[in-house]
Structure 1
Amino acid sequence: MELERQLAAKEATLPQEPASNDENAVTLMVRMPDGSRHGRRFLKTDKLQSLFNFIDIGRRVKPGSYRVVRPFPRRAFSDGESALTLNEVGLTSKQEALFLELI
C-alpha cells in the first residue's frame, strides 16, 4: 500500500516530456533486467531523480534495488547523485543507452 502511494507521488512529479525537436532534450533508453527497454525524453536540466522516478513507476524493479549504468565509458549513477541534473552527470547526447544493474 505504502509503495503504491510513493509510486503515485513519483508519477505526479515527473516533468513534462519535452518535444523530440527540443535541442535540450535527451532520450534515455534503459534496458531492464528482464531485457525489455524503456525510453523517455528528458531535458538536460531535469534532475537524475526524474530518471529514477520514471524507472520506479514502470514497476519492473523494486525502488532502491538497482543502479543505473552507462556502459561506455562505464559510469554507475547512484541515489546520492539524484539532485544533480542530467547535464551535470554527463548524460548530454541526443540519445543515451543505459542499463539497470540489480544491487
Structure 2
Amino acid sequence: MNAQQAIASAQAAAPAHGVPANYRPAAAELRIVELVEGAPLRDELPPPGPVYDRSAWVVRLALDILWVELTIDDQTGELLRIRRSRGAAQAIEQEAADG
C-alpha cells in the first residue's frame, strides 16, 4: 500500500465512523503502531493485554484545527484504530445530536 491508497481507504471508512465529509486529508505517515487484541476501535484506552506491533498508515483528516486519525493496516487495508482531537470529538458528537 502507498500513501494515496491509505488515504483512499481512510476516506472510504470515515463516513461509517461518523467523520464528516468536509474533513480533508492532511497527512499520511507509515508507522509501526502498538495494538492490543480486542481493543476498541475508537477513542478509548486499550484494555490490558498482550501488545503486538503492526505496520500501518496513520492518515489524518482535518478541518481547520479539528482532526481525526484513522490507522490503516499496511498489508490488508483494514481500519485498526480511530483517534479524534478533543474538539473534533465534541463537534462530531454535537452534529450527531443535532441530527
Return the TM-score normalized by structure 1.
Answer: 0.25
Q: Which structure carries more strand by proportion?
A: 2
Higher helix share: 2
TM-score (norm 2): 0.25
Q: Report 1 or 2 for greater relative contact order, CA contacts < 8 Å, sequence distance ≥ 6.
A: 1
